[in-house]
Structure formats: structure tokens, C-alpha cells
Amino acid sequence: MHHKYIIIGAGPAGLQLAYYFEKSNEDYLILERGNCSGNTFKTLPKHGKLISINKVYTGYHDDGVNLRWDWNSLLNDEGFLFKNYSEKYFPDAKDLVHYLNDFKEKFGINVAYHTEIVSIEKSECFSLSDADGNVYTCENLIIATGLSKEKKPCFRGSEYVKSYTEASINPDDYKNKSVLILGKGNSAFETADNLIETASVIHLLSPAPVKMAWKTHYVGHLRAVNNNILDTYQLKSQNTILDAEVTSITKDKDKYIVDFSYTHANGQNWQVVVDEIISCIGFYFDNSIFKGDAVPQLTENKKYPNMTEYWESSNIDGMFFAGTIMHMRDYNKSFSGFIHGFRYNVKALAEILKMKQGKNAFHRENMNSFESAYEKIMYRIHSNSSLYQQPGFISDVLLISDKGVEYVVDMPVDLIENTYQKSNHIRLTFEYGKKEHPDPFNVIRMPDDGDSSTFIHPVFRVYKDGAIVDEYHIPEDLQNEWNKEMYTTPFKNFLKMVLPLERKNMSQGKRHETLGNYCS
């Protein structure tokens, strides 16, 4: 069975890419080891609650704008949205499974379920063998399996530790017990929150301090929905948050003695005695099915496959990655590890695959006047979800040449760096402020200084011959609406200075040429 493209994994990333393959009538097949799409969400997160928000009532009627607060829908032109499956702000995972399977049916996506791939090799093309002895071949292989292998702790006595996926989620099993949870991410705090009413003492332990999403603006850090236990620690109500590293665990009858070394106390050694130990230290990419010349390089920390700006394997031509594992390119910076981030990456990957076939890719429009460019920019600022959900990672580009100005939407910044390295262009991104504030709820603002803005706002960077020559930030706005005169007048003045387009005088019917100081 040969196909031009084979996708491994029928989760949200695999389905999203297949949607675009269907649109362009590509020859593809998704191979899925489970019995349905989104199979992982049947068991994870363990407590069945997503932390991807689902804001149904926004006050806006534009689906593009509403996707800024809809973190579960896949991109489509038909308005097939997750909000029709749940109105919960933090929805149940089972509803996402329902949505994904209906998405597969609605768009006629080609999936072979119950197909577990056990071996992938490459010679002239990719060869995939499943557990039943069937062989599939393809020219291009897209891995959309996510981070599927759970990390295990490594220290003396780690055999006494239960993993996040193995541990009971029944609070009654922990009545009056002391529990040590390894990790300080959302899975660790989700686990702690579930046990707070029944466990006698809960310790959360990892070497690094807690990072709060509301401070870092990174949704992978600890979310407020999971942080109840922080109050109990700061108010000395038995539970603790420890910045430390476990050195050993020993068993004494029905108890476990945990020795650890503090990170921020001059290496002080300490000990706690607990009844249960649960590891919530995350997942990583499983490369066990790849053989010989088909084994992808991994990043230094072994968490992700290493990949180029095309999301193509750094050492294997024709092997691409989709979904959570795309996060290798913007780890801890933007939101590619989550549906509301990687759905835009997958859309861009579909365009990249067209580009590699020599086809027209990425939506483009010619700007014939200053007014048309300004109106396009303002429309994108107020309607896009892609730049908003992938801050600093996805960009619009105004390409400037002797032929005029061409507007290109939704290109990854990494790809722009490679493709338009020596060109004249202007990039539009959305970004949070770079400066960290000790208290993010007590920030002194400079309303006229966009460069000092803390919250998300539009950013323009001007490049001449590939080098940045100017930068402009429209200041943050309380409701993200930048059509007020306090923003539009200075922005128009900036745009007139850098954009070499004829400007129409609409009231007098005259035309005069404005030459960009940098890009003419």
C-alpha cells in the first residue's frame, strides 16, 4: 500500500493536516493504533479535565476572532467548532474525543484504525510495518504521535515511585496518608488538587521553582485552575512546595523515607517520611519504532526530535513532524505544544509541503496603495487568531520589491528568516512584553510607549537587505482594539515612513508617492 503522504496518529494534529490534504486532493493515509481519533484524550489528562479554555460567549461574532479564546477547535472553513460540544470553560476531555471523531467523519478523513506501527525504515522511500505484518510505503512521512513516553525518575529507590499514569485518582485511597509528588507542572498540581481533601500532607518536589502562567504568559506553566494548593503552603496548612532534588528513597515497613537536597538552602539535606510517592515529571518523544537510516536525531534533552524550520527531521529528508512535537522550535516561548498553537503550525506545514512540490503556497495579496495596505493590516490586527495564539512565532509579511508590495499571511518566523533572508520586508507579529515584573498585577504602564507594553500587542519590524532597521510597537490595549486615534495616528505616520506605496488623497482625488526611508 503506497501513498504520497502517510501520517502516524489520528489525534488533533493528524486530523488537522489531513483536513488540508483533503482540500488539496492529496494522496494520504492516517495510521492510528487506537480505535478512534483522539484516543489519548480518553485517558489523559488523568482527571478528565482539560486546561485548554473554551470561551463560548465572547461578545464577538467573527469565528476568526473567537478562536483567540477557543483553544480546542481545529481550523476549518466550514465553522465546525468545539463550542457546539461543550460550554464549559475548562471542558471535559471526553467531549474533545467526541468532537475529533465527528471532525473526521464530517470531512471524510482517511484513517486506518487498529493499526499499530512497530517498525519504520527508509531506503528510497519510507517503509512502515504494523503489528499484523502489513507494510505501508510513502514518499513523505508525518509523525503526529505527540510526546507519548512517560519520564521515569532515576535515583536510588525509584522503584517505589508510582507514575502519573499508574497512580490511583480515587481520593479515598489516600485518606489520612502523606503523599510526595515529584514535579511542579500542571499534572503534578492537578494530582495534588485532587488529593487535597483526603491526604494528611502533600509535598510537591522538583529542583526548579514554580513558574506561574499568569506571570510568564506561557500556558504550559502552572495554570491558576490547578494552583489551589499554593494557598495551603503559604498559609502553613501542612502542605509544602519544595525546591529540591531527591537523592534516595528507602522503605521502612509501610513507610518511605525520602532523602533530598535543597536547591536554594546552600545544599541543605533533609528527609521526609511518606506513605505514597507519585511521579508527575512529564513525557517525551518515543523513537523506539524507528530503525536504521530512519532514526531521527533528538534534541539534547531527548524530549523532542530535532527538526528544521520546515518541521522536517534535521537528518532525514521527507520526515516531518506535526502537533505537540512541533514545540521543539519554540519550547517555553510560544504555544506550539498545545492545540491552539500547533493548529496554525500544521496549516503552515500544509503550505510548506505545497511549496516543496513547486506549487503556490501561503495566501498572498498585492497591495496597490497605501490605503489598501493600511486597511489590510488593521483588518488582520483585529481579526487574526494565528498571530495572537502564536506570539512572536507566526508572522504576516509585507514583501517589498520593485514590483510593489505583496502581503503574505501566517508564515512561521523561522521560515521567513530562511526564505527572505536578504529581502526588504516588514513583519507583523503579536508579542508580549519582554520585561518581567516582580508582581504582574502591579505594573506601572507608559500608555504612549508601546515598546514597554507588558501584555500582547502588535509589533512591526522593518528589514532592509535582511537586516532589521526599525521596530514599532502599537501599545497594549485593555480590550485588544487598536482602531482608536491614539493608536492609529502614530501608527499611520510610521507606516508612511517605511512603506513605499502610492497614497491616494481620497478627498481631492490626487495621488502622490511616499518613498519609504528604509525600504525604497
SS (H, E, C) 40-75: HHHCCCCCCECCCCECCCCCCCCHHHHHHHECCCCC
**Cα 81 to chain centroid, rounded:** 19
User: From residue 47, how far is each of 53, 182, 412, 416, 425 by CA, in Å?
Assistant: 16, 17, 34, 40, 48
Give the per-residue pLDDT at 503: 53
Q: What is the CA radius of gyration of the chain?
A: 25
Fold match, 2-149+283-357 / 152-279: yes
- Per-residue b/e over 322-345, b at no fewer than 16 CB within 10 Å? bbbbbbbbbeeebbbbbbbbbbbb
pLDDT value of residue 462: 97
Segments of the chain scoring below 50 in pLDDT: 504-518, 520
Contact (Cβ atoms closer than 8 angstroms) between residue 276 and residue 180: yes
CA dihedral 199, 201, 206, 207 (to 10 degrees): 170
CATH of domain 2-149+283-357: 3.50.50.60
> Domain segments of the chain: what residues?
2-149+283-357, 152-279, 364-498
Q: Which three cell numbers stand for residue 442?
A: 502591579
Q: For position 66, what pLDDT does the model report?
A: 97
Q: CB atoms < 10 A from the CB of 156, how many?
A: 11
Q: How many CB atoms lie within 10 A of CB 23?
A: 12
**pLDDT tens-digit series, residues 150-209:** 999 999 999 999 999 999 999 999 999 999 999 999 999 999 999 999 999 999 999 999
Please name which of 436, 378, 18 lies closest in space to residue 214, comparing C-alpha atoms. 436
pLDDT of residue 250: 98
Which element (helix H / strand E) includes 155? Answer: none
Question: Which residues lie closer than 8 Å to 12 by C-beta, 6 or more apart?
Answer: 38, 74, 100, 323, 339, 342, 343
Beta-bridge partners for 347: none
So what's the pLDDT on residue 435? 81
Run of H or E including 98: helix 93-106
Q: Give the predicted TM-score (pTM) of the model.
A: 0.94
CA 152 remoteness from chain centre: 24
Give the DSSP H or E segment for 354.
Answer: helix 339-356
Q: How high is the pLDDT of residue 438?
A: 84
Strand partners, 100: none
Give the pLDDT of residue 502.
62
pLDDT of residue 421: 82
Question: What are the grid coordinates assigned to 82, written together?
Answer: 468545539
Q: How far is CA 176 from the centre of its chain?
A: 38
Query: Comparing C-alpha atoms, which of 8, 6, 4, 12 is closest to residue 118?
Result: 8
Q: Give the C-alpha separation, 40 to 327, whole Å.
A: 18
Q: Is 1 helix (H, G, I), strand (E, B) or coil?
A: coil
133: left (phi over 0), alpha (psi -120 to 50) or beta: left
Q: CA dihedral in degrees (238, 244, 248, 254; nearest 10)? A: 10
Residue 350, number of CB atoms within 10 A of its CB: 22
| Cell triple for 402 | 520593485
Decide yes or no: CATH 3.40.50.150 for domain 152-279.
no
pLDDT tens-digit series, residues 313-348: 999 999 999 999 999 999 989 999 999 999 999 999
Q: Is the peptide bond before 438 cis (omega within 30 degrees of 0)?
A: no
Cell of 246: 531527591
Question: Nearest CA to 264 among 185, 183, 209, 203?
Answer: 209
- Between the two ends of the chain, the Cα-to-Cα distance in Å is 54
